[in-house]
Structure 1
């Protein structure tokens, strides 16, 4: 039977931690010979020996701090193993196996913690350590030390890279699960878990833009988690989760169509509505919410439900946003919501002046979105009358036919708008005066849908060249 721990080791646990390092190293060296005399050690020895080797390397490392909090539990665990090896004949085989199993797991965790201590950015850093250096301290310190590390992490968690954010989530979650956390630190721990959520959602949003990864999102069951984050996450995490869902449902392939259906079945419309109703102004960004609404509303059945649920009111309000991205996505959503049956349509006449104003925006995407929405609106005769009353309506739409000034705008939509009001002689005169005939020549060569019909309507069978090209 090996000798018991010398008295000074117990005193070291309470005072001089430097002695604990030496004591742990002594026990690590003594354990192999003690284990050789115990048949019960044979099954667990491979995992135990790997942990011992890792611990020896870490404790001997120059960067290992002599005050590391893990030394006391390590000395206790090693001493218990030595005791089991010496008493295996008197405590029963099953009991011995149980003790070895639990000790092996504890040693493995301690070995991993010790590696964290000596790794770059570990807990031996000083006051200038980065956020990554705080993460090991969340796992290894006393309750007071962990609380101090958590205080420091709260200030920097928003700037953590994705990999470090994942490590922070793991460490803070372990703190909460262990119960070894001061009451005052619980709220901070929950806060850290929530900014880390945003980092993870941001990574997923970027990954969702790759079509070949869409099957993985479905196979891993990502939709329920993302929808839960939209409901319960921080405002930034909600915005990024919505962005991820928008990317997942933005294509036309079978995988995207299935994701749209699954998102709808999972309650995405309700999540979007709750998000929009909970937001104050345009903070956080609302664009992803309208982008997801637009994608799902490409199914007419979903669009009709959205209209019945008063989504149109949110869309109309968003057209007045001071953020171009929000106005753009809202206009695109409005274009889809207008494609519902006449029984379910809502009055959106107030949108027409705003959309005409958006036709003058600097961003091509915003002008294109406004043209799409107007094309959907003027398909109804009542909205054509409202459009014709707007002084800048015809002029702004015609400018979108100019290949130089409106590069990137899908010409089919401004052509569709002009065709819708071309029965009016006054509107035809406005189109000609704004230079529509000259622009149409290029569209005819490109065989743009509707261009020939509009040209015939303006030309009355005559050559386009007789009209002025102002």
Structure 2
């Protein structure tokens, strides 16, 4: 086999030859030197395999690896010569420690060499003009991912910066990097002793988590990924990396199959701590994560409440600097309030005035979430009376006339609950647009809206002859006939109630 024209390769072989000559004559710590000799033989095999690749002499990763190996072998040869000296007086414990350190370095060199061979980067021809953009990205990604696993801090840190830039350019780049095994490497780097690399790994994983079609790879890392991210939150890393780490957890919490891992890793207390004392973004992401965790999970709702989430949520709410920042908080409150025992606790903590205050919020998402929370929290006469006295009814009536179907639906649903209190029914009847707007929601052509809620609103006042006349005049009969045919809940009952007015001629004219 032709020897590559590479000085580092030549120097490495020379050092290996010298060590094979020196080691047999060493009498001090013969057992340890025997182990070290085996490691050198393994390393020699790996270097020979590396040299068989055509671009061995030009690949920068090979050059860096050989340079590091040469340094280790030089130190090894110096120690071997010292141990041969009969007048050697160096401390035994220190010598044993030095030999063990060299054995560990040789092990790492063997692993790095093996990784370099298996990575496939030595088979690449380089990024040339004839490569497509996709192929060029693939080649670059594979090289960077390999660099993240080989070499010193400076090399790995530089590779991480380049990988972050690559991921930020395009979602397609993320998918390519993921296909090259980026996620498993990044997860391992979360356990790095270097804080800078660890934090950059968090940012890289966050970028991956934003691309839906690559999230399954993060889920596959399961407990290991969760464990490392939680340790980032607890470790006192920079505020930015903590916020990003909990943001990744927020995305992962959307997936049912990984929720059990959050419990196993005791994640909830950590998230509550971030909610209590993190930066604004970290708090927001923590709330979002908890919101995703408790969604449709009664056991998880009870668990987070036992950890004190309601009081922490209240403190966050009162300290919010803008209405927009409350959207995620109202979302969590809404999810928790769907569990009746928890809703009772929420009410006892004084949340109803806070929720009602958001009904006039300029941010649509916050406003809709607040309306839905009103429905969940008005489970008894006392609460229905409280929201009515707070001026809730006129505000909800106005929402029935907005363009967004989601807001109309939420308002009708909230009204169907609070109208069970007589005082709120009286307020509703005084609203000029209340009756007409509610009847218009019965129109089958108005889509994305549950008809049972406006029906319940109208049924709550159907005992009044005047109200029945107003419903008929607004065209309720024609709509209800269609809804009865569609078998909509409550439609037949309301139609029969209107029929007591014996105004069917109006129906026909409609």
TM-score with structure 2 setting the length = 0.66
* Structure 1 residues 468 and 27, CA gap change in structure 2 (3 angstroms): farther
Q: CA-to-partner distance for each residue in 1:383-422, whole Å, 9 max, x for gaps?
A: 22222222222222222222211x2322222211111122
1:399 counterpart = 2:440: yes
Q: How many angstroms apart in 2 are the aligned matches of 1:239 and 1:166?
A: 27
Q: Which 5+ residue runs of structure 2 have no aligned equivalent?
A: 1-5, 122-126, 128-136, 198-236
Tell me the CA shift for residue 460 of structure 1: 1.0
Matches within 5 A, 1:328-339: 328-339=368-379
- Of residues 457, 470, 475, the one that matches 1:430 is 470
* Corresponding residue number in structure 1 for 2:249: 201
Tell me the CA shift for residue 264 of structure 1: 0.9
* Corresponding residue number in structure 1 for 2:238: 190
Aligned 8 A contact 2:298 2:339 in 1:
no
* Structure 1 residues 178 and 325, CA gap change in structure 2 (3 angstroms): closer
* Corresponding residue number in structure 2 for 1:9: none
- Of residues 436, 448, 461, the one that matches 2:488 is 448
Aligned 8 A contact 1:139 1:175 in 2:
no
- Of residues 339, 347, 355, the one that matches 2:396 is 355
Q: How many angstroms apart in 2 are the aligned matches of 1:427 and 1:47?
A: 93
* Corresponding residue number in structure 2 for 1:81: 76
* Structure 1 residues 144 and 83, CA gap change in structure 2 (3 angstroms): closer
- Of residues 267, 273, 279, the one that matches 1:222 is 267
Q: CA-to-partner distance for each residue in 1:33-58, whole Å, 9 max, x for gaps?
A: 76677532555777777677778888
Q: CA-to-partner distance for each residue in 1:292-332, whole Å, 9 max, x for gaps?
A: 21121122232122123232233223323333222222221
1:308 counterpart = 2:354: no
1:389 counterpart = 2:430: yes
Matches within 5 A, 1:52-451: 60=56, 62-64=58-60, 75-84=70-79, 98-106=97-105, 174=192, 190=238, 192-194=240-242, 196-197=244-245, 199-207=247-255, 210=256, 212-251=257-296, 256-284=297-325, 286-340=326-380, 342=382, 346-348=386-388, 349-405=390-446, 407-451=447-491
Query: Relative to total residues, which structure has the larger helix share, 1 or 2?
Result: 2
Q: Which 5+ residue runs of structure 1 have no aligned equivalent?
A: 1-17, 180-188
Aligned 8 A contact 1:58 1:64 in 2:
no
Q: Which moved more, 1:326-335 or 1:49-58?
A: 49-58
Aligned 8 A contact 1:319 1:331 in 2:
yes
Q: CA-to-partner distance for each residue in 1:224-280, whole Å, 9 max, x for gaps?
A: 3333343444444433433332222222xxxx1111111111222233223323322
| 3-state DSSP of counterpart to 1:355 | helix
Tell me the CA shift for residue 378 of structure 1: 1.3
Q: How many angstroms apart in 1 are the aligned matches of 2:431 and 2:409?
A: 19
TM-score with structure 1 setting the length = 0.70
* Structure 1 residues 276 and 111, CA gap change in structure 2 (3 angstroms): farther
Q: How many angstroms apart in 2 are the aligned matches of 1:213 and 1:97?
A: 46
Q: CA-to-partner distance for each residue in 1:102-144, whole Å, 9 max, x for gaps?
A: 444445567778979x998xxxx9xxx9999999699967789
Instruction: Tell me the number of residue pairs that the alignment of Structure 1 and Structure 2 aligns.
Output: 433
Aligned 8 A contact 2:144 2:159 in 1:
no
CA RMSD of aligned residues (A): 5.0
Tell me the CA shift for residue 353 of structure 1: 2.7
* Structure 1 residues 71 and 157, CA gap change in structure 2 (3 angstroms): farther
| 3-state DSSP of counterpart to 2:31 | coil
* Structure 1 residues 323 and 88, CA gap change in structure 2 (3 angstroms): farther
Q: How many angstroms apart in 1 are the aligned matches of 2:418 and 2:397?
A: 12
Q: How many angstroms apart in 1 are the aligned matches of 2:98 and 2:70?
A: 16
